[in-house]
């Protein structure tokens, strides 16, 4: 079964939160930590910690959450 993930990441001081939806949580968390999107929100605000995640069976259910 394929899962879709809703997740929240934060910077080290927990003053910035970033939420997203993905079908590959490990890949996406790695991309955000490595700041692969130069100029991205996660790079600009040094968002690196995965603080919460939840699995859903459909992308629609994940987005509604």
Q: Is 14 inside any structural domain?
A: no
Structural domain containing residue 2? 1-8+23-46
- Per-residue pLDDT of the chain (65 residues), as tens digits, is 899 999 999 999 999 999 999 999 999 999 999 988 778 999 999 999 999 999 999 999 999 86
Q: Is 31 inside any structural domain?
A: yes
Q: Is 57 inside any structural domain?
A: no
Q: Is 37 inside any structural domain?
A: yes
- Alpha-carbon span 16 to 40, nearest angstrom: 14
Q: Is 65 inside any structural domain?
A: no
pTM of the model: 0.89
β-strands 4-10, 49-56: how paired?
Answer: antiparallel
Q: Is 32 inside any structural domain?
A: yes
Q: How many domains does the chain have?
A: 1
């Amino acid at each position: 079964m394929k899962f879709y993930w809703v997740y929240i990441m934060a910077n080290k001081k927990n003053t910035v939160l970033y939420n997203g939806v993905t079908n590959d949580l490990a890949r996406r968390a790695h991309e955000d930590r490595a700041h692969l999107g130069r100029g991205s929100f996660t790079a600009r605000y040094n968002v690196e910690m995965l603080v919460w995640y939840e699995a859903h069976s459909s992308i629609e259910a994940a987005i509604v959450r």
